[in-house]
Amino acid sequence: MFKWLKPKKEVTQTPEQTRETRPAKKTPPEETKQALPQAVEGKKSVSMAAEEQLEKLHAKIDAVAERFAHGEINPVQFQELYSHYQSNIQEIEQFLSLNPDSEEWKHLVADGQSMILRKRYAARLSGFAIYDHRNGMPLKTIGNFGLDPGLFVPMLYAYQSATKEIFGGAVRSTQIEGGKWLCFVSGKVTTTLALFTTEPAQQQLKTLEKIHAVFENANAERLMASPVEETTLVCPHEYYLSHPL
């Protein structure tokens, strides 16, 4: 006799069970997803920071040119500051061409160096000599003038006669021995000779002209005396021997 075999029941899975038994798809770690964009972003940030620094340096060069044009700094200060900024630009560009992804270029920029250079090469006053127009003799010597006032009598007369005709102004400066500069400031009855360590900026000469005007105004009556009593004169020049002009 044949035995009837019971058909096997088909085992069906619910959608939920099917999802549970299927192998889960592997998702890449979050850091893997972000690694490439971060690397690209890092390169961009290095490049952008370097470009910003280069733009700042070029802007500083433009500012130095404007300061010189306005008479705020002297020629030596201009040359030294320009050389400093231009050297920084070239060093950064050269470093980045060899190490485009490195931030070590930041160490090439020295903060505060421009201020040091500006002070180092500023023209400083050494002393003054004030002359009487009537006889060409010195009325008063202030500070470390370091030159024989009598040597400038011929120069002083030539300067007084040529100032308005040739130079068109009351202030003139000229280089003398040792790289020093001698500046003439002519007033109504006197002339101030100022000795500088190097060529002064135009703003310094303008200030010097104002100082001399104050001197003549303050001593107007005393300067009319003959002879002039040196000990009675007040001299605003003295302040600038210990303070920047």
C-alpha dihedral (134, 135, 139, 143), degrees to nearest 10: 110
Same domain, 92 and 47: yes
The answer to whether the CB of 133 falls within 8 A of the CB of 190 is yes
Question: Would you write out the chain's pLDDT as a tens digit for each of its 245 residues?
Answer: 444 445 555 545 555 554 555 555 555 555 544 544 544 444 556 677 778 888 898 999 999 999 999 999 999 999 999 999 998 888 888 877 777 666 665 666 666 678 888 888 999 999 999 988 888 788 988 888 877 766 666 666 666 655 555 444 567 788 888 889 988 888 888 989 999 999 999 999 999 999 999 999 999 999 999 889 989 999 999 999 888 88
Considering the domain boundaries, does residue 229 fall inside one? yes
Q: Which sign, positive or negative, has the C-alpha torsion 48, 49, 51, 56?
A: positive
Position 179 scores a pLDDT of: 86
In terms of residue numbers, what domain contains 236? Answer: 125-241
Q: Which residues pair with 220 in a beta bridge?
A: none
Same domain, 141 and 200: yes
Same domain, 95 and 57: yes
Q: Which amino acid is at 114?
A: S
Q: Which of 120, 140, 169 is the last residue of a domain?
A: 120
Position 207 scores a pLDDT of: 92
Phi, psi of 173 (to 5 degrees): -130, 150
Considering the domain boundaries, does residue 217 fall inside one? yes
Counted domains in the chain: 2
Q: How far is CA 201 from CA 73, 92, 118, 244, in A?
A: 5, 31, 12, 12
Considering the domain boundaries, does residue 49 fall inside one? yes
Position 25 scores a pLDDT of: 55
Position 2 scores a pLDDT of: 44
Helix/strand/coil for 184? strand
Verdict on whether the full-model pTM lies above 0.85: no
Residue 77 in tokens? 């200060």
Q: Which amino acid is at 1?
A: M
Q: Which sign, positive or negative, has the C-alpha torsion 140, 146, 151, 156?
A: negative
Distance CA 240, CA 226 (A): 28
Position 4 scores a pLDDT of: 46
Distance CA 1, CA 169 (A): 142
